[in-house]
Amino acid sequence: MATAQAAIEIDELPGAGAGATIHVSGDWTFGALRKRRYRLARIAADLQHRSAKSLRWDLTGITALDDAGAVWLARSLRTAEQIDVNPRYGAMLTQASQGLLVERAEGGLDPLAGVVRVGRAGIDFWFHLRDGTALLGQLVLDLFRVTRRWRDFPLLELSANVYRAGVSALPVTMLVGFLIGVVLTYLSALQLKRYGADLLVINIVGIGVVRELGPLLASIIAAGRSGSAMTAQLGVMRVTEEIEALSVMGVSVTARLVLPKVLGLAIALPMVSFCTDIAALAGGVLIAKLTLGITPAAFLEALPRAVEVVNFWIGIGKSVAFGFAVAFVACHYGLRVLPNTDSLAAGVTQSVVASVTAVILLDAMFAILLRDVG
Amino acid sequence: MSADANSQSDVETVVETVVEVQKLLNKIGEFVLHRELDFEVRAGEVMTLVGGSGSGKTQLVRVILGLKRPSAGLVRVFGVGWDDPSYARVRAARERMGMLFQNGALYSAFTVYQNVAFPLRERGGLDEEAIRAIVYAKLAQVELEPKHADLLPASLSGGMVKRVALARALALSPELLILDEPTAGLDPDRSDAFVRLIKRMRSEYRFAVLMVTHDLDTLHDLSDRVSVLADQHIIASGSIDEVRSVPHRFIENFFGGERGRRAFTAA
């Protein structure tokens, strides 16, 4: 199996214009040709100028051939009419030259591409709305069904989800809450000190944290942490056909997979945001003491007077809605994943973006609806 | 120029033994999967590896592929160990082999065309027209039509996935093709057709094959030699008849069972 160099030799027949025999020999493999192919291509290109009829290609000297070599040869042989070839390599050469003939439909510039894009986005949006509504309806139906038949209630999954989305999210959420409490208090203290309105810091931090920041922080972290996990889990289950397996066994995918996630986060998030409130207020108490000299006891005593308790309940209520929204959006995107990796990646990204957007939209709606309360 | 060509052939050494495994010790945790295992695939032959479930066939293939580092022993593919410090040598050895995974392992984000073109593009040195010609030639060889080229793997049937995966494994005209359960999940007709396909490709390209299979018909139709993996090492290696005559419980069960007798008496 010694490698022989690939070569093209031109053997001119006697007499002007009598033509020539071209001897092609050696190893025509990718490895052997890697460096020599430009030189050989030049020789082959020169031959293109000669009348095809006058040339006789003798390929019997080829000692090895692979696809790359066959394609290089086939290109030079396009116009050739007389070819002698070892039958062993004939099939490969024929396939290569046929491969060269296949036209690949190039996606040219479509003048209507913009219109198509907009239309497609519109249709996509419509599908999202339709499927989202269907999922919501299905969840309500499932909820009715499981209340009639408690045996079907996915209690185990529910508690697992509360643990995963709630308890295990506490460290990171509380840390972020604490830091936000610190920053918020510090910045407001700087401003308030100038007007001598030191004690107002309790109002600002109290209302801000309990009514807005606590629930918002908790749900944004939940969207990044639990929401993405939910989408990825459902998406992978789609890729591995586990969703189909569940349906085939007569287990409702929405009741078993979506419902416990949605309920679980709706239950867990108020508790998480309660803990976030505490952490953020702790940060506030600390900074109020350090920058304004308000003692923790004074801070905590003034807090109930500064912040009506209804604000707390608004915060908790919003958390329930946010939890529901995050899990619902995550599951909606998870179930839409197609069985390929691209779609999975896109689904998770879109899910996180959409659920954070949904949370902020909902928050704005709550702010308008409840503007006269608290 | 010629010096360059020589350095190329330095990287691609010509060997008679394509895969060489000597005194392999392979542990998973504390569990010894292979001990004192010797195994080889010679150039141009079809070597079939058989063994009971859990005997570590797949793990042996993973070691040969360099996906798992053995605890001790020598593993050489085209004379190159996967721990070779020369990136060029390892890469050259990799480009001389193709792997057909059991479930195809097609890149799901790529179309059929892109899947087959991928190894060609990674190797470099070919322009798009040549790549296109090779891809369509490969697709034609595995009996797929050009119109299938733009499908995504998710929309292919099981048999088509196998054929696209074979086209991809053979894209670089490898000298060694590794087949993991090539006919698993195919109906008998398709599995016969797949065996015929591999036979035909082999007559054109003369690559060596290392095949893991449970299917006695496939084994019988393709194999030049058989190696039996049991009791942590290769207990027998040779032609089908040589191996069948070795007295061992697994061999008697495997070849002597009802299915075995049918596959071998029919021929």
Mean pLDDT for chain A? 87
Interface of A with B (CB under 8 A): 1-3, 5, 29-32, 34-36, 39, 66-68, 70-72, 74-75, 88, 91-92, 95-100, 102, 104, 239, 338-342
User: Cβ B8–A36 below 8 Å, yes or no?
Assistant: no
Helix (H, G, I), strand (E, B) or coil at B235: strand
Please give the full DSSP string across A241-290, using - where no structure is assigned. Answer: THHHHHHHTT--HIIIIIHHHHHHHHHHHHHHHHHHHHHHHHHHHHHIII
Q: Is B146 on the interface with A (CB under 8 A)?
A: yes
Of the pLDDT bands very low, low, confident and very high (cuts 50, 70, 90), residue A219 is: very high
CB A280 within 8 A of CB A185: no
Q: Cα–Cα distance between B218 and B220 in angstroms, integer? A: 5
Q: What is the pLDDT of residue A130?
A: 94
- The partner residues of B41 in beta bridges, in order of sequence, read B19
| Among A187-201, A271-285, A330-344, B9-23, the range of highest mean pLDDT | A271-285
Give the pLDDT confidence of A266-302 residue by residue, as tens digits.
Answer: 999 999 999 999 999 999 999 999 998 899 999 999 9
Cα–Cα separations (whole angstroms), residue A340 to A246, A318, B105, B110, B155: 19, 36, 12, 9, 10
User: Cβ A340–B108 below 8 Å, yes or no?
Assistant: yes
Q: Is the pLDDT confidence value at A222 over 90?
A: yes
DSSP B80: B
A74 CB-contact burial (10 Å; exposed 0-12 / middle 13-18 / buried 19+):
buried
Sign of CA dihedral A128, A133, A139, A141: negative
More confident residue, A210 or A86: A210
B58 CB-contact burial (10 Å; exposed 0-12 / middle 13-18 / buried 19+):
middle
Domain ranges of chain B: 16-96+176-267, 108-173
Q: Which residues of B touch A88 (CB under 8 A)?
A: 204
Q: Which residues of A touch B136 (CB under 8 A)?
A: 98-99, 102
More confident residue, B257 or B71: B71
- If one counts every other C-beta atom within 10 angstroms of the C-beta of residue A60, the result is 12
Token pair 């042989």 is found at A77
Of the pLDDT bands very low, low, confident and very high (cuts 50, 70, 90), residue A364 is: very high
A7 CB-contact burial (10 Å; exposed 0-12 / middle 13-18 / buried 19+):
middle
Give the pLDDT confidence of A11-58 residue by residue, as tens digits.
Answer: 777 766 667 788 888 888 887 777 777 777 777 777 777 776 777 888
Helix (H, G, I), strand (E, B) or coil at B40: strand
Cα–Cα separations (whole angstroms), residue A345 to A132, A223, A229, A334, B223: 20, 16, 12, 10, 42
Residues 1-60 of B with CB under 8 A from A: 1-2, 4-5, 8-9, 12, 14, 43
Q: Is B128 on the interface with A (CB under 8 A)?
A: no
Q: Cα–Cα distance between A358 and A131 in angstroms, integer? A: 16
Residues 84-123 of B with CB under 8 A from A: 92, 107-109, 123
Token pair 């001990």 is found at B35
Q: What is the pLDDT of residue A361?
A: 96
Q: Is the pLDDT confidence value at B44 over 90?
A: no
User: Cβ B129–A31 below 8 Å, yes or no?
Assistant: no
Q: Cα–Cα distance between B227 and B50 in angstroms, integer? A: 6
Helix (H, G, I), strand (E, B) or coil at B185: coil
Domains by residue range for chain A, with CATH: 7-101 (3.30.750), 140-369 (no CATH)
Q: Give the nearest chain B residue to A64 (CA atoms).
A: B205
More confident residue, B7 or B61: B61
Give the pLDDT confidence of B128-181 residue by residue, as tens digits.
Answer: 888 888 899 888 888 888 888 888 888 888 888 988 999 999 888 888 999 988
Q: Which residues of B touch A74 (CB under 8 A)?
A: 133
User: Cβ A340–B109 below 8 Å, yes or no?
Assistant: yes
Q: Which residues of B touch A3 (CB under 8 A)?
A: 9, 14
Q: Cα–Cα distance between A85 and A22 in angstroms, integer? A: 12
This model of the complex carries an ipTM of 0.73
CB B132 within 8 A of CB B171: no
DSSP A13: P
Nearest CB to B132 within list A29, A104, A342? A104
CB A32 within 8 A of CB A70: no
CB A76 within 8 A of CB A44: yes
Q: Give the nearest chain B residue to A32 (CA atoms).
A: B5
What's the token pair of residue B160? 């088509």
User: Cβ B125–A36 below 8 Å, yes or no?
Assistant: no
Q: Cα–Cα distance between A78 and A69 in angstroms, integer? A: 14
Token pair 């219109």 is found at A115
Q: Give the nearest chain A residue to B3 (CA atoms).
A: A35
Q: What is the dihedral of CA A284, A285, A290, A293, to 10 degrees?
A: 120
Q: Give the nearest chain A residue to B149 (CA atoms).
A: A104
Q: What is the pLDDT of residue B6?
A: 42
Average pLDDT over residues A120-135: 93
CB B227 within 8 A of CB B236: yes
Nearest CB to B5 within list A36, A67, A70? A36
Nearest CB to A31 within list B12, B126, B171? B12
Q: Give the nearest chain A residue to B145 (CA atoms).
A: A102
**For A65-79, A119-133, A319-333, B203-217, which range has the lowest pLDDT when averaged over its residues?**
A65-79
The H or E element containing residue B20 is strand B17-28
Sign of CA dihedral A270, A276, A279, A282: negative
Triad B206, B115, A103: Cα angle to 5°: 90
Cα–Cα separations (whole angstroms), residue B44 to A273, A330, B15, B40, B223: 67, 53, 11, 12, 11
Nearest CB to A30 within list B125, B132, B137? B125
Helix (H, G, I), strand (E, B) or coil at B24: strand
Superfamily name and number for B16-96+176-267: P-loop containing nucleotide triphosphate hydrolases (3.40.50.300)
More confident residue, B76 or A35: B76
Q: Is B152 on the interface with A (CB under 8 A)?
A: yes
Q: Cα–Cα distance between A130 and A132 in angstroms, integer? A: 5
Amino acid at A356: V
Average pLDDT over residues B238-248: 86
H helix count then E strand count, chain B: 11, 9
More confident residue, A145 or A41: A145
Nearest CB to A35 within list B5, B12, B123? B5
Q: What is the pLDDT of residue A45?
A: 74
Q: What is the pLDDT of residue B3?
A: 41
Q: What is the pLDDT of residue B8?
A: 45
With a pLDDT cut of 70, the percent of chain B lying above it is 91
Nearest Cα of chain A lies from the Cα of B198 at a distance, in angstroms, of 15
